[in-house]
Structure 1
């Protein structure tokens, strides 16, 4: 809890200098962001290596790194294309001594072998699967936090992609979903 509170303090301080999250996001940090991110661990309790694409302000990646801090061998890769967000993420990782690495790179061009690839509020599913393709092709499971339009996004994505998917209702938002993706390939 101390690390989560310290993360919130860093996020609040940095948010005054640069717009990492909207003002309402700070007010809803615990139920909307921390809990939303933390629920992913219950979907992959044995996963040690994670890649958070479009890590932004650190949801879900920083939350996952905090929760995995005492887990031997755990590593969270925070991938973001904007240098200013990477500076913030690097500060958080260093200040909290997290098992995480920050990568200033485009999600689809940075190829890692991880257990789970995740993202939150990055892109519609069709585009998100393109970003996640290199990770999923290396055997990762995709766990994506999506909103009420997740079923429609999956249907649209099937025009471009073949995959197995399961939808689980979000624990933090009655309209949200955790989307699990496996076995990704392009429709030919």
Structure 2
């Protein structure tokens, strides 16, 4: 069955969007993205999560939980985005945000380009590159990463990308990463650690905001 016609799945997504204070109109493009991901996942193994309902919670709503913290930014680089998480859901929810999806894996990059094309995401671009090799120094208001690496490791490979004046790392983490924060490299400071509530997810989630010192 086409998941875009799955009423139960749509209801679950609608409830999650309401809980996050997001527009119900986002459900259609988000489900179109999920349908594309499911179709490609059979061949390309883009994500270990294969159940559509689990994908709604762990991929879509988890990514969208950070919308309020990204609003107002002009440019965002999603580092090691994999199948486009959180970058594609954020690009769908925030059409005024310019999202660069950074992914070195060729198969995943091919999927990302197809997703951007099919979803007509004029505010998203794919950079098929290793993070440290992306030649855009100071090119972004913020960088983000989801389940990529420790905070010091993210900054070691991607710290050249945020702008010099107030550039930020918005890192999505599970439990409060006390040890990682303690190991932040020189030149960076902690701004905030904010608990995130993801509808349907019974697990700790935090958004860690790091800024150039």
Q: Same fold (TM over 0.5)?
A: yes
Q: Name the structure 1 match of 2:127.
A: 103
User: Is 1:163 matched with 2:188?
Assistant: yes
C-alpha distance in 2 between matches for 1:13 and 1:64: 21
User: Is 1:146 matched with 2:173?
Assistant: yes
User: Is 1:33 matched with 2:62?
Assistant: no
Q: Name the structure 1 match of 2:15.
A: none
Judge which range, 132-141 or 36-45, deviates more: 132-141
Judge which range, 60-69 or 145-154, deviates more: 145-154
C-alpha distance in 2 between matches for 1:152 and 1:27: 33
Judge which range, 162-171 or 45-54, deviates more: 162-171
- Aligned pairs, how many? 179
User: Is 1:8 matched with 2:37?
Assistant: no
TM-score normalised to structure 1 length: 0.87
Indicate the RMSD between aligned Cα atoms, in angstroms.
Answer: 1.8
Q: Name the structure 2 match of 1:176.
A: 205
C-alpha distance in 2 between matches for 1:24 and 1:43: 28
* Pair member with larger Rg: 2
What is the deviation of 1:111? 3.5
Partner SS state of residue 66, structure 2: helix
Partner SS state of residue 99, structure 2: strand
C-alpha distance in 2 between matches for 1:107 and 1:178: 21
* Cα deviation 1:78-127 (Å, max 9, x = unaligned): 00111111000000000001111101111122143111210101111221
What is the deviation of 1:67? 0.9
TM-score normalised to structure 2 length: 0.78
C-alpha distance in 1 between matches for 2:107 and 2:144: 21
C-alpha distance in 1 between matches for 2:205 and 2:51: 16
Mapping of 1:18-167 within 5 angstroms?
A: 18-24=44-50, 26-69=52-95, 71=96, 74-98=97-121, 99-112=123-136, 113-136=139-162, 138-139=164-165, 140-148=167-175, 150-155=177-182, 157-158=183-184, 160-165=185-190, 166-167=192-193
Judge which range, 17-26 or 90-99, deviates more: 17-26
C-alpha distance in 2 between matches for 1:85 and 1:123: 18
* Cα deviation 1:124-173 (Å, max 9, x = unaligned): 12211112211235342111101115222212x23x44422121112225
Q: Name the structure 1 match of 2:3.
A: none
Question: Any runs of at least 4 consecutive aligned residues in structure 1 with deviations exceeding 4 A, and if so which?
Answer: none
C-alpha distance in 1 between matches for 2:142 and 2:64: 14
